[in-house]
Amino acid sequence: MKSFIFGLALTFLLGWTLVLRTYHAGVAPVPELPAARQIEGTFISKDQFGMHHLLLSGNPYERGLQSGSHTRDLLLKQEDVLFDQLSRFLPSKSLLPPLTLAGIWWFGGVEKYIEPWMLQEMYGVSRFAPQKYDHVIDGYTRQIVYHGIHEVGQMSVDQGLEAMGCTVIAHPLGGQWVLGRNFDFEAGRVFDEEKILKWVFPDEGHAFLSVIWAGMVGAVTGVNDQGLYISLNAAGSEDFRRIGLPSTLVALKVLQFAKDLNDAIEILRREQVFITDIYVLLDAKTGRLVRVEKSPARFAVVELQGPSVVANHLIADIWKDDKVNRDRRQYLTSTARQDRGEELLGALKGRDFQKSPELEIEVLKILRDKGRTDDGQPLHLGHRRAIDALIATHSVIYNSRDRVFYVGKGPAVAGAFVGYDLEASFRERKPVFVRELPADPDVTPAQFKAIQESWEELRWTRLALWRKDCDAAQAHLERAAGTFKEQGDYYLTLGKWHECRQEMDQARAAWRHALDLVPAYHKDRLDLERKLQ
């Protein structure tokens, strides 16, 4: 299903590229560019410190040039993964024209919402975009397009095609907070393996750190030199708008131009978005932590006090009658992760955390929680109801009292977390290491790799079954079996393979076992119950 989602998103977005090329309304044509000085920027490979670091300065165009020149190999690696997703989704190239036409209609007018300085940076990156895919569309337009993949992915969630999720865990610390965040984005492991800590020192606005991937101008997780933190959690509502400013670019504006929480809230209030998201904001100046719930039509600010969890459903009163939000709470994994996080935070009640690392370790344990069934039994590794479903593209912890920002080396949440002194880093204009949190003792790199390979085989199995190719499905299913013998997804797919072969007794036996293993999603449970009637 992941291949379907990102294939659909990419196909739709490629339609967007033709809109930009067709309308020529200040987006696809080269933007007006400032003079570019010879500023090199700095790239520190993960071979040295476990994660890539990219240090950028200057005006937007200069920063784009620096970014592209240092990450051109990563840009190609990422695009290879994304276009592989597209090739899996499209069984025939004849499907591309009608989907492209739909994209042309859908995204017409988007050029009105992306600000010129953002386009200048994207254009700078695109000067180093791989030419391999220029036959589809030019590198600059592809850069613009990729900033909309979050929006299209979220639209697919509300159409019942897939479920995505992120979790924030926050605990008070002496008038400040220790906040942890898992960012789950399943476009490919390359976005975890090659993640970048992007340190930006712009000519205008505030310096900031963004945890991101090559070529991405927008932000999903970051903190600026004022101690202001922002991250995005996907949400959903009935509110609809065809186009607007991508949420990642809204978050970028907050990082670069907000000096405090009030500035950030005003930026979020003002911008016109076209999907619903939760923006988590933490202001180290005041110790205030809020969740801003924003849709294309509605806006709410919820102050968080005491141990808090943010998942993927909306909680402000204005959403109480919203059907889409209600469905997300009832049928996806958001409520399960919210409840489990609150349970684990509740277990810390009464403890006096004087030393920061003690609380940081406890928050990290929650970020790594693998989940429990309703009767207290451990869920299998990778279960989507878990806070740590082994799918995070990155995971961070922010200690706003000490101004220390940790980023997990990966894979997902399993690796050690490297902490940086933010005040020293911004002052010295380079990452300054301060301390490290240990790796997950329960998930070794070998285990993680085996699970990822089994998931990949299951994805290929489902694709083969979608195409009614039972023999190809069998080969992939057999390779998935070793790691996934006690996972519900495996037995659900095994049953569908038997169904493909008209072996209905074996299919029902597999589906009964899948039901016993606690399906993550309501739709899967209903599907199994229907099949077993």
Angle between helix axes 247-257 and 261-270 (nearest 10 degrees) is 150
What are 105's two structure tokens?
């209609």
Q: Where are the domains of the chain?
A: 2-35+61-158, 167-371+383-437, 447-531
pLDDT of 15 reads 53
pLDDT of 402 reads 97
pLDDT of 389 reads 95
Query: Which one, of 200, 254, 226, lies nearest residue 430 by Cα?
Result: 200
Contact status, residue 232 vs residue 166, Cβ threshold 8 Å: yes
Q: What is the DSSP letter of 401?
A: T
Q: Which pLDDT tens digit goes with each residue over 328-360?
A: 999 999 999 999 999 999 999 989 898 779 999
Query: Which one, of 268, 514, 234, lies nearest residue 393 by Cα?
Result: 234
* Superfamily of domain covering 447-531: Tetratricopeptide repeat domain (1.25.40.10)
pLDDT of 141 reads 83
pLDDT of 316 reads 99
Rounded to 10 degrees, the C-alpha dihedral 490/492/498/501 comes to -110
* Superfamily of domain covering 167-371+383-437: Penicillin V Acylase; Chain A (3.60.60.10)
DSSP 3-state assignment of 200?
Answer: strand
Q: Which pLDDT tens digit goes with each residue over 200-219?
A: 999 999 999 999 999 999 99
pLDDT of 26 reads 35
pLDDT of 4 reads 47
Q: Under 8 Å CB-to-CB from 254, ≥6 apart: which residues?
A: 228, 230, 263, 264, 267, 268, 279, 281
Contact status, residue 423 vs residue 431, Cβ threshold 8 Å: no
Contact status, residue 389 vs residue 184, Cβ threshold 8 Å: yes
pLDDT of 162 reads 54
Contact status, residue 111 vs residue 26, Cβ threshold 8 Å: yes
Q: Under 8 Å CB-to-CB from 15, ≥6 apart: which residues?
A: 99, 100, 101, 102, 103, 104, 106, 107
Residue ranges in the chain whose pLDDT is less than 70: 1-28, 89-109, 111, 153, 155-164, 485
pLDDT of 144 reads 85
Contact status, residue 393 vs residue 191, Cβ threshold 8 Å: yes
